[in-house]
Amino acid sequence: MSPLSRATRFVLLLTCIPVSAGLVGCGHEVHTRPRHPAVRVGIQPVYSLAVMSGKYRPLIEYLSAETGYRVEQISSLSQTSYLSALEGARADVAFLNPLLYLQVAKTKGAYPLVRVVNADGTDRYRGVIITRADSRVMRVEDIRGCIAMTSYKKGVGGYLGQYRLLREKGIDPTNDLTIVVGRTQDEVAQAVFDGRVKAGFVREDFATSLGSGIDPSELRIIAYTDYFPTWTFVAFRDTHPAVAEAVKGALLRLDPQDARHRSILETAGAAGFVEASDADYDRLRSIVAESGLPY
């Protein structure tokens, strides 16, 4: 064999040898499993830590078993500290509301993997305004001059929807009422129940996680917001592609017809997951722009 032909065969051999964990060989990209000490998943804390842990532990354990990675949940005491927790823990995947998705898409190169399908089979959700059942605040118009509470001013079902609703009713949320910020949605419901605030901005499903000291019949919904696209699991520009694909595939394989899967989903308050795209959130971008709220 001539020296030239041996060199040629050597070069061709090199082009088919993987060069890194998500490698190119002979023109085909292959995402092999990276050596990951852990896959960190940050779940936005709508409720208290105890409630959040109970809701999502089975899902985290399922992801560990299904992907082969050691999946760890990143905890955060409040919604306002959630983004800092993601940054500090170098999250690989996050589960968050649509408005936060728009923010981290801009700042961290986030892209959606899957969206939640609700227990009723829909892929949208909305917020409500609640008061005590014996309150004189019985309509949206009655909220003017009152103290209202939200758990997060970047929540969709817990603030943006109510903000837009009030504006449509001719009420300026910034000047016509006092809005205080708590840490979690169950704290907001508790404050309304205790009479510390006249109204609370929460998601429609708030009653599923009320504290044991709250009688749901003592709370009244006085208004509903528009519907918005459901929460999404996202990956980031720095997330290894194999990790993103493994988590996405595992979530999509959750089958509500399977008893074990159904238990995991029901505990998390979901009926399943569907593939998501950035375009799913275009209408929300328009609503945010109309409202003039920064994100």
Average pLDDT score over residue span 147-174:
92
Residue 134 predicted with pLDDT over 90: yes
Task: Report the pLDDT value the prediction gives residue 21, as an integer from 0 to 100.
Answer: 38
End-to-end Cα, the chain, rounded Å: 66
pLDDT band at 36 (very low <50, low <70, confident <90, very high): low
Both 116 and 234 in one domain: the answer is yes
Both 135 and 204 in one domain: the answer is yes
Give residue-wise pLDDT tens across range 224-276.
Answer: 999 999 999 999 999 999 999 999 999 999 999 999 999 999 999 899 999 99
Q: What are phi and psi of 27, to 5 degrees?
A: 85, 0
Residue 17 predicted with pLDDT over 60: no
Residue 171 predicted with pLDDT over 90: yes
Task: Report the pLDDT value the prediction gives residue 190, as an integer from 0 to 100.
Answer: 92
What CATH number is given to the structural domain containing 117?
Answer: 3.40.190.10
Q: How far apart are CA 95 and CA 86, in angstroms?
A: 11
- Residue whose structure tokens are 């006249």: 198
pLDDT band at 152 (very low <50, low <70, confident <90, very high): confident
Residues facing residue 94 across a β-bridge: 42, 234
Residue 55 in any domain: the answer is yes
Residue 29 predicted with pLDDT over 90: no
Q: Which of 79, 99, 48, 214 is nearest to 151 (CA)?
A: 79
Task: Report the pLDDT value the prediction gives residue 184, as an integer from 0 to 100.
Answer: 86
Both 141 and 73 in one domain: the answer is no
pTM of the predicted structure, to 2 decimals? 0.72
Could you tell me which residue, 6 or 258, shows the higher pLDDT? 258
Task: Report the pLDDT value the prediction gives residue 52, as an integer from 0 to 100.
Answer: 86
In the chain, how many domains are there?
Answer: 2
Q: How far apart are CA 46 and CA 80, in angstroms?
A: 10
Tell me the residue range of the domain where 93 lies. 39-122+230-291
When the pLDDT of each residue in the chain is averaged and rounded to a whole number, the result is: 85
